[in-house]
A and B are shown apart, each in its own frame.
Chain A
Amino acid sequence: MEKVQIIAVATSLLFLGYISFLIYRGRLREEYALIWIVCTLVLIVFSVWREGLEVLARLFGVVEPPNLVFTGAIFAILVYLLHLSVSVSKLQVQNKKLAQEIALLRQKSDPSKS
């Protein structure tokens, strides 16, 4: 294994460890953790299997293998951002319902104030 591979594998493993730690402490929900774990595993696979990128690039017909990395990574990021936008929209709806319910309950619990 070359130096760069060892660094890449070590970094990925550290990252994986940190994700596990976050899940263990309950600070990251499993549904989000899944995507991070998959990403880390992909990083580890390609750190070990160095020709893998060239094999994949040839498979997709990409001339410069690094371009495949960028295209794939940017696409994955966009999909994940969209997923987060959906999550935020859902939270907003729930947040609105809760706020409305609080306003109605406040009025009910203390009508003298109104």
Chain B
Amino acid sequence: MDNSPTKTLAAKIAVIIPAFNEEQSIVSVVNAVSNISNTAGIKLVPVVVNDCSTDNTALVLKETSAVLLDLPVNLGIGGAVQTGILYALENNFDFAVQVDGDGQHPAQFIPDLVNAALNQKVDVVVGSRFMTKDGFLSTKTRRAGIKWFYLLNRFLTGTRVLDATSGFRLFNRNAIRLMADNYPDDYPEPEAIVLFSRAGLKIAEIPVKMKEREGGVSSIRGFSTLYYMWKVSLGIIFTYFRKIK
């Protein structure tokens, strides 16, 4: 088995944190990642992708140890994460972990994601709220939407990912290479599950406890919920048929 601590120690891990107007929470997110890096014995490099924030997100980061990727125009979450992925690919990282900039994803679970990838020999690990139903579980309507994505993904690819909208994920080199060329722009998470399955990557899901956001507002609210459901469902179906680059 590959779960020896030396293997974990040697791995280069980029923690990609997409941020759009997260000046209130971004520093604590970065610091939490750095603390885990110091205490858990794994080397984590926080990589913040500033998606052309209009607040002081870039400025407050100067005090931290994070690598800052400053986008000149706003690309949306997918394009921002992909920027971090390109950085990880270029700089030969073994793993990339995606963590939201709003503080929803506690850094203490990052070692669990890494261990799951090493022990279960999978390419992608998704941190799921619904395996133990612990912590912040989102609203009822949102959970219904997430259930729909689960069913759609299971029907198309047979992949069973309970929390397809979770942006708390780990990717290995295979997944990084795939994502560098293929990654949706808006609301990429559920579509990406289909993408990974189609590319033959193995996905594991592990339980994590999420928190309510520390600052900022969700990108999915009000009328855009309908657009979101429609866009993502269509995206999932087209990703299923599309040729992978």
- Residues of A at the B interface (CB closer than 8 Å) are 92, 95-96, 99-100, 102-104, 106-107, 113-114
Contacts and interface: CB of A to CB of B under 8 A. Distances in A.
B232 to A, nearest CB: 18
B73 A95 contact: yes
Contact residues of A: prevailing secondary structure? helix
Given A107-B87, A113-B62, A100 B68 contact: no
A102 B49 CA distance: 12
B82 interface: yes
A114 B73 contact: no
Interface residues of B, number: 18
26 contacts: A92-B185, A95-B73, A96-B75, A96-B185, A99-B71, A99-B72, A99-B73, A99-B75, A99-B79, A100-B82, A100-B83, A100-B86, A102-B71, A102-B72, A103-B49, A103-B69, A103-B70, A104-B86, A104-B87, A104-B90, A106-B70, A107-B68, A107-B87, A113-B62, A113-B68, A114-B66
Contacts of B69: 103-104, 106-107, 114
A106 B82 CA distance: 16
Interface of B: 49, 62, 66-73, 75, 79, 82-83, 86-87, 90, 185
Contact of B72 (A92, A103, A114): A103
B52 to A, nearest CB: 8
A96 B82 CA distance: 10
A99 B83 CA distance: 9
A100 B69 CA distance: 9
B245 to A, nearest CB: 11
Given A107-B87, A114-B66, A100 B73 contact: no
A104 B84 CA distance: 9
A96 to B, nearest CB: 5
Contacts of A107: 67-70, 87
B41 to A, nearest CB: 24
B64 to A, nearest CB: 9
A99 B86 CA distance: 12
Nearest to B79: A96
A106 B67 CA distance: 11
Contacts of A113: 62, 68
B61 to A, nearest CB: 8
B148 to A, nearest CB: 26
Contacts of A103: 49, 69-72, 83
A103 B70 CA distance: 5
A96 B72 CA distance: 10
A106 B75 CA distance: 16
Contacts of B83: 99-100, 103-104
Contacts of B71: 99-100, 102-103
